[in-house]
Structure 1
């Protein structure tokens, strides 16, 4: 049996099985982790070193090429700038040429088409030819009149295309340039259909005496003046050289079709902050060629920019050998790492896998397994430690098995005792709970009786208070009734006196009315007397008038008597009005007194009746006070009995509460005892289950 088990273990530990397990589950394999660690770390290190070398060499090449290309651009710019300066100086020579200026002066007074004009034109043409014939880069020299009444002049004769030259924008710019030269951009067909592209420089030709310009000097230059200077410039494979004006248009390009068109935005250099001129180098991203290295320099004469562009890929192609070497090194390092990983798996992973399988068998219950290792390293020491551990576990399991059997027997007995105790405690708890419920109900009822007794006592106190208030109120009512009766008697007497006074007043008012009528009769007599007096005074006046001078004194007396009679009449009228008003008021007073006398009679009758009522009330209040005295005595006796009842109910409630508290405490203790008994049963059951489980688990081990 042991031999067969050994063969099976060897099969299980074969390299094929080990490799398949590592591949299937590398995260659980130390060998796989070590293998991956070696391979990945070496590859990453080699790749990092190679890429760092590649980047360093690439930057170094870019910087070296940038510096050399920039110096080339600067030299080419200076060379072209020197040529352009010579052309600029030539325009100055033409402007100050004495033969030319004198010939132009002579032509001012000549008519077009005359012989003298033709001769002078020929002289000017030959003078201009001295500047163009000696320099093969000059296409033609023009003198363009500012005024339209003069004929344009040129070194090669007047051609048809020169008539439209004034329509160009640079012509107006040259007129307003204040004597400064103006550079004219590239013209693919020249001014007059020249066989090759040209560009030019224009300057106003001023008179030295007047300072006014009559002609514009236009020097047409072949584009070869620039292309010849740039012919030998090479800043790298795939590079291009172009000349751009200030508007970003091609003045020179290797592709003739691109002339006068706008260069792409990436090809137009941008001025750096703090620099006035465009000069330097930078790396940009082109539209179709990837990263491009730009080197550029600006000309001083006309601010045109010479730009060189070369693909960065072409610059660093020599550095790619380093990248290739890096990948080769990565492959070699990967192979080396694989060999090292294989050795690590053989020396470390395989023994660990064997030891892991033995531990798995031990975990399944086979405590007889032992490790066999001949090595003296840490893995061999680990195998020896595993064997010692398995022997100690075997001894521990044996001892634990015996203890588990004893514990199981004890747990069975304890469980039976706990069940019996729990049943008894449950019955006690039920009985105690019923007693507690009864005591609680008694306490509740006693509390309710106590509360009702207290309520009755408070109500009795309120009744006693109300009775006392009622007694006081009845006494006050009796006093008030007695006082009211006396007041009513006095009021009766006063009412009778008032009636008699009213009757006397009515009689006196009637007498006054009769006296008023007598006054009116007297006033009528006095009124008649005033009328008679007035008539007598009138007659006396008439008689005095008849008497003449002797009757004047009598006439005055008659007038005075008439005046007194008139005043008496007026006074009698006023007194009559007053008398009539008094008569009217007396009449109204008599009517009012007539109406008031029956009311006083009724009031007297009502006062008599009220006096009778007050007497009756006084008698009834006396009887009520006597009854209230009897009720007060009964209520006082009832209050004393109620106090005794309240005290008794308080004692009953206290006893009931004490009994309820005691019952609840007993019920709580019984419930706690029941819980403890149940917990004891549970613990006994758990102990029994643990013992059974321990026994089952220990039965799995083989020793």
Structure 2
């Protein structure tokens, strides 16, 4: 639509109307005041007293508590490491002594005395005496060494010397299967007995074969280890644990503990040195013994700082008491400052409500007294200013009434002139709008024709691309049909080869039957040869061995034919399965050939249809080009009409704008007069709200 804009010549009059301009700016950008939070002076003074009384104590308590806790943790960690080191030495001494006693028993009492060699003797009497002597030495060992509860020896012939009541025969056999070698191995739990502690070692005496070995098993008295670790004094809720290399609990100061945490075990199992770590509020210290056992101490951090926390609570209580005292002292001091200020605030509140007769009686001689005198002087000046303003307002109201009457008459005159010019402008505007609408309609028609022409070209190009793609697809379908035929021929050849392979399997089967007959005859011949060799006595022993070997070969030949026959059966089954698969593939290939022929026929029909569409699209493009030329001629004629109409509208608009400008100036003067009268009236009413006398 053709738009007609009025000239903005009214801006040149704005400097002559400063009051109106100022009022407009103020209405567009209102000033917003953010109300701040009111904080009484009394509260501030009390807060300062509390801060000066409490903050230093808080800082000192926090720093001293932190330093004391750090020092206490380091000292406790050092003492715990020393305690674990001493305990590990005691346990290592115990285990080393036990291993030494058992090694001495094995070397001196069993090996050097040649008792084991006598036990494996072929002489029954020598073996019986050796068994008796070994059992006496075992009883003697148990009676002299209180660390050993029971002992047993498991021999290579599965015979056992001695007895451990807590273990069954099967459990002792498990100890021999461990094959620990010529070193002492500690084992927590064996077979069905999971609580006892055992020491195991394999024994092989000089001159014996690898088969004549024994396994020595000793049940160790755990009460000695328990007494060593129970003698250690621990802190409250602390825990001491002894573990073997398989994470089995040998000792734990807490009887309710049945398992060791996996996450902590993964940490300590890879470290052999004496180490301390803090994890999950626990100070964990651990070390590794000579036999790879782990001795672990767990001390809660709370137990280390229990008394220190109690002292810290007492200090916090003192801080609270001092805070209450600071509140009382601060209240007394704040009252002496806040009462005069509160009275001054009450008088200022009355002044805000319009009472300008208020007066503050100052007391003393300080900053608050000076503030009261300044307040009294300010109220007096405001009261005098308002009285003078009332006189000025009365004079201004009289002058504004005269200005209002004169401007109202001028406004009526310019209103009649503006009405006449406006009627002329309306007719011209309607004519310009009609020309503009016609131009827009033709432009829209041109755009539609252009889009239709572009769409037609796109369809034509896509039609050509589709025709090429379908031709390529037809060629691909022909190649697929050829490959399908070749696949069918290859499948037929594979089926023929499999049938020939089946015939060969049948021939091999007949050969296997012949081999079975030969094997049976050979077996029978070997049996007869064995009988004849037995009749010949010593002279036929060599012949008997040969006959036995022949018989063995016959049996092996028979077993081989059985295995070959099983393999041939499996090959026959696989041939049958393969033949079925080939038949199924031939059927699928036949269906595929039919489908390819149908698809090729469909592609040929689509190509014919696309050729017809190509001819029709060429005709549509020619018609659209003729419409485009007709549109250009129509747009040129409408543009000439719109130009003439626009010139007429511009001339009319100038006349109307001048009239409107003069009318607007007079209206501004009238509005200014009204605003001035209203402002003076409001100001007078506002001043009347103040109490001046």
TM-score normalised by length of structure 1: 0.56
Contact 2:400 2:673 in 1 (8 A): yes
C-alpha offsets along residues 510-549 of structure 1, whole Å, 9 cap, x if unaligned?
A: xxxxxxxxxxxxxxxxxxxxxxxxxxxxxxxxxxxxxxxx
Paired residue for 2:161, among 153, 174, 182?
153
Return the match for 1:293 from 279, 283, 302: 283
Gap change, CA 1:71 and 1:424, over 3 Å in 2: same
Give ranges in structure 1 of 5+ residues lacking alignment. 1-24, 192-196, 286-290, 448-652
Aligned-partner Cα distance in 2 for 1:697–1:679: 26
2:401 corresponds, among 382, 404, 412, to 412
SS at match of 1:271: helix
Q: Secondary structure at the match of 1:133?
A: helix
Give the C-alpha shift of residue 690 in structure 1: 0.7
Alignment partner of 2:303 out of 303, 314, 323: 314
Q: 1:280 aligns with which of 234, 256, 275?
A: 275
**Deviation per residue, 1:212-259 (Å, 9 max, x gap):** 46111223220022112112201212323221223322112346676x
Output the CA distance in 1 between the equivalents of 2:364 and 2:69: 53
Give the CA RMSD over aligned residues.
3.8
Give the number of the structure whose alpha-carbon radius of gyration is greater.
1
How far does residue 669 in structure 1 lie from its aligned partner after superposition?
1.7
Q: Does the Cα contact within 8 Å between 1:238 and 1:311 map onto a contact in 2? A: yes
Matched, 1:78 2:83: no
Q: Structure 1 residues 315 and 377 mapped into 2: Cα distance closer, same or farther (>3 Å)? A: same
Give 1:478-627 correspondences, 5 Å limit: none
Q: Is the 8 A contact 1:272 1:278 kept in 2?
A: no
Cα-to-partner distance string for 1:422-446 (whole Å, 9 max, x where unaligned):
22222333345457679x69999xx
Cα 1:54/1:661, change in 2 over 3 Å: closer
Deviation at 1:667, TM superposition (A): 2.8
Structure 2 Cα separation of the partners of residues 437 and 103 of structure 1? 140
* 2:116 alignment partner, one of 104, 107, 116: 104
Match of 2:679 among 663, 667, 690: 690
1:143 pairs with 2:153: yes
Change (3 A) 1:293 1:663: closer
Q: Deviations over 1:479-534 (max 9, x none)?
A: xxxxxxxxxxxxxxxxxxxxxxxxxxxxxxxxxxxxxxxxxxxxxxxxxxxxxxxx
| CA offset digits 1:177-204 (Å, max 9, x no partner) | 332322111579989xxxxx74221111
Instruction: Verify: 1:200 aligned to 2:198, yes or no.
Output: yes
**Partner residue, 2:259:** 262
Q: Is 1:243–1:306's contact at 8 Å kept on the other side of the alignment?
A: yes
CA distance in 2, matches of 1:283, 1:657: 92
Q: Which residue of 1 aligns with 2:440?
A: none
Using the alignment, how far apart are the partners of 1:169 and 1:358 within structure 2? 103
2:246 aligns to what SS in structure 1?
A: coil
In 2, distance between residues paired with 1:657 and 1:316? 97
- CA pair 177-153 structure 1, distance change in 2 beyond 3 A: same
Three-state SS of the structure 1 residue aligned to 2:315 is helix
1:65 is aligned to 2:68:
no
Superposed CA deviations along residues 629-684 of structure 1, whole A, max 9, x for unmatched, are xxxxxxxxxxxxxxxxxxxxxxxx99x99998666434322211111111211111
- Once residues 650 and 237 of structure 2 are traced to their aligned partners in structure 1, the CA distance between those partners, rounded to angstroms, is 110
Please tell me whether residue 362 in structure 1 is matched to residue 360 in structure 2: no
Deviates more, 1:656-665 or 1:374-383: 656-665
Call closer, same or farther: CA 1:364–1:87 in 2, change over 3 Å.
Answer: same
Tell me the SS of whatever aligns to 2:231. coil
Pick closer, same or farther for the CA change 1:206–1:246 going to 2, 3 Å: same
Is the CA contact 1:271–1:277 (under 8 Å) kept in the aligned structure 2? no
Say which of 125, 128, 140 aligns to 2:135. 125
State the partner residue of 1:171: 176
Residue pair 2:230, 2:253 contacting (<8 A) in 1 also: no
Q: Distance in 2 between matches of 1:336 and 1:250?
A: 58
Q: Report if the CA contact (8 A) 1:425-1:674 is conserved.
A: yes
Q: Do residues 181 (structure 1) and 192 (structure 2) align? A: no
Matches for 1:363-512 after TM superposition, within 5 Å: 363-433=352-422
Name the SS for the 2:381 alignment partner: helix
**C-alpha distance in 1 between matches for 2:268 and 2:252:** 25
C-alpha deviations, 1:398-422, integer Å up to 9, x for none?
2222212222222222222222222
- How much does 1:72 deviate? 0.6
Matched residue SS, 2:297: strand
The aligned counterpart of 1:30 is: 41
Match of 2:332 in 1: 343
- Give the gaps of 5 or more residues in structure 2: 1-35, 436-642
Post-superposition Cα deviations, 1:354-385, rounded to whole Å, max 9, x if no partner, equal 22211111111111212233344333332222
Distance 1:328 1:441, change over 3 A: closer
1:223-242 map, 5 Å: 223-242=222-241
Matched, 1:271 2:274: no
1:686: how far off? 0.9
- Residues 187 and 329 of structure 1, relative CA distance in 2, 3 Å threshold: farther
- Report deviation, 1:696: 0.9
| Residue equivalent to 1:573 | none
Residues 374 and 187 (structure 1 numbering): CA distance in 2 closer, same or farther, change over 3 Å?
farther
Q: Shift in Å at residue 306 of structure 1?
A: 1.5
| Secondary structure of the corresponding residue to residue 183 of structure 1 | strand
What is the aligned partner in structure 1 of residue 533 from structure 2? none
The 2-side partners of 1:420 and 1:247 are apart by 115
**Cα contact 1:181–1:203 (8 A) shared by 2:** yes
Whether the aligned pair in 1 keeps the contact of 2:362 and 2:369 (CA below 8 Å) is yes
1:243 aligns with 2:254: no
User: Match of 1:627?
Assistant: none
Distance in structure 1 (CA, Å) of the matches to 2:191 and 2:235: 28
Distance 1:662 1:216 in 2: 129
